[in-house]
Amino acid sequence: MDESTRKVPKVFISYSWTDEEHISNVLEFATYLMNNHVEVILDEWDAPEGIDLNHFMEENVRSEDIDFVLIISDKEYARKADERTGGVGTETQIISKRVYEDVNQTKFIPIVWQNDNNGKPYLPDYLSSRKYFDLTPKNRYSNSKKVLRRLHNLPENPKPKLGDFPEELLETNKYYPTLKEYIETFDEKVEKNPKSINFISRNFFKNFLKNLDDFKIKFETRNTLEIANGLYKNIEEYTPLRDYYIEFIEKITQVHEFAPIDYDIIKELFENIYSKYTTPNIGQSYMREEFMNFDFILRELFLYTITISVENNDYELTSYLLNSPYFLNDKYNLDKNHQTFLNLDRRGYIPTDGYLTKYCQEHNLNKLTGMGHLLISRIHKDYEVDDFVNSDILCCHISIINLHDQDGWFPFTYIYKETDYMSLYQKLISESHCEKVKCIFDIEYKHELEEKIKYSEEYFGKIRYGFSNVFMNYVKPISEYVNVDEIASKK
């Protein structure tokens, strides 16, 4: 809207003839308003000699054509208004009645022109509770523009438009105030007391498990597609909980150098998820399909933990999760020996990939693996696809070279790898990097790493590890990323 079409506000200025200086200042202010598209009615301009001043003031105060009455209040104005003397007193009788009768009126705008010695504004009693503009000498220049904005109804900080109703408030499982509080207070508490990280982490994971309990699924159908759809929906609904977990693991690994956590606390979380949610109780009537969502969740959380620990150089955590024994309470598995992170890979026991692949087929997604597709398609916003895929491949390699398990960890996502780069491996030419990451490979000396890399090359060269129906796309050995002869050859 240009100046020619914008409405011109019309104001009447009520003030006291305190002295010549005050009158001059009021005139200057009125001129400023006139120069800025505000029509001002002022006795100095609009009340010629011979006019009845009382009538002039009363007419303008009452007039419907006047949009605003600006009440410029200094010490003299406040005194005359309270004592009802002079022209000010006449105006006050009219204005105060309007103000008292309508507490919501905004036509009469107080403007404080002067404060007393204690900094208290001079205002008539009837205006003492009203919001005012401070145009005392030190604020007159800066606040005049605020008055101008008020008259043109163009506030400096306009009220925002009303947004849509936040539907997520109706979805009670999606937001977790307790977990959020642990995350928001983490930095302050750990900085103050680094040892508190263990207490904080135990409580975070305890509450995380409680919330995970809400995602138990019970299928009332045997229809494969209905189960697949229910599985996919359940996993999507748990995503906000996953994101809180990722954020917390990020915080733990970012402070590992000055506030190391007891890694057992993290490993125990995976042991608890495995034991509580992916195995039945003795005597329990169950369908294997009812564990599929937690099979996916367990794998996804584990891979994000590896991804984040590597990214934040917390290689000790990476090593601990990949090389330490696990104590998994499987009610139907009597063999309690040699449990490792490989036991977290539940393929063959729980048909998760099959159902997720069925979901993809039914929704016109031509995907070889539903498990791999879903892990990649829901990648967290802070991570690249290769960050996640590289962790999946690392788990596979470690399972072969350290644990010598011929089946190994199956990296469902390997076919989604976008580049030939794998930083953890390619940096092995650096002696200092080797020293930092040797714990992951469970070695002490360079020659041990060389032997494991050669073993990796032999194994993956023979087995062709990967999806059998994907031509020439198999899991590559470590030697594809680094030349064994160059290991630790640079500083």
Count CB atoms within 10 A of the CB of residue 362.
Answer: 12
Q: Alpha-carbon distance 489 to 482, whole Å?
A: 12
Q: Provide the whole-model pTM.
A: 0.67
Class of the domain covering 10-151 = alpha beta
HSE-up of residue 412 (Cα within 13 Å, Cβ side): 23
At 92-145, the pLDDT tens digits run 776 776 665 555 578 888 999 988 888 899 888 878 888 889 999 888 888 889
Q: Alpha-carbon distance 179 to 83, whole Å?
A: 63
Domain locations along the chain? 10-151, 170-384+407-413, 420-491
Q: Alpha-carbon distance 404 to 34, whole Å?
A: 88
What is the side-by-side strand order in the sheet with 133-134?
39-41, 10-14, 68-73, 108-112, 133-134
pLDDT at 1: 46
The phi-psi region of residue 101 (left if phi > 0; otherwise alpha if psi is between -120 and 50; otherwise beta) is alpha
At 246-296, the pLDDT tens digits run 999 999 999 999 999 999 999 999 999 999 999 887 656 668 899 999 999
Reference 407, options 452, 470, 342; nearest CA is 342
pLDDT at 284: 62
Q: Alpha-carbon distance 333 to 327, whole Å?
A: 12
What residues of the chain score a pLDDT lower than 70? Answer: 1-5, 90, 94, 97-104, 167-174, 282-286, 331-338
Reference 309, options 206, 440, 416; nearest CA is 440
Q: Tokens in use for 142? A: 């800066």
pLDDT at 80: 86
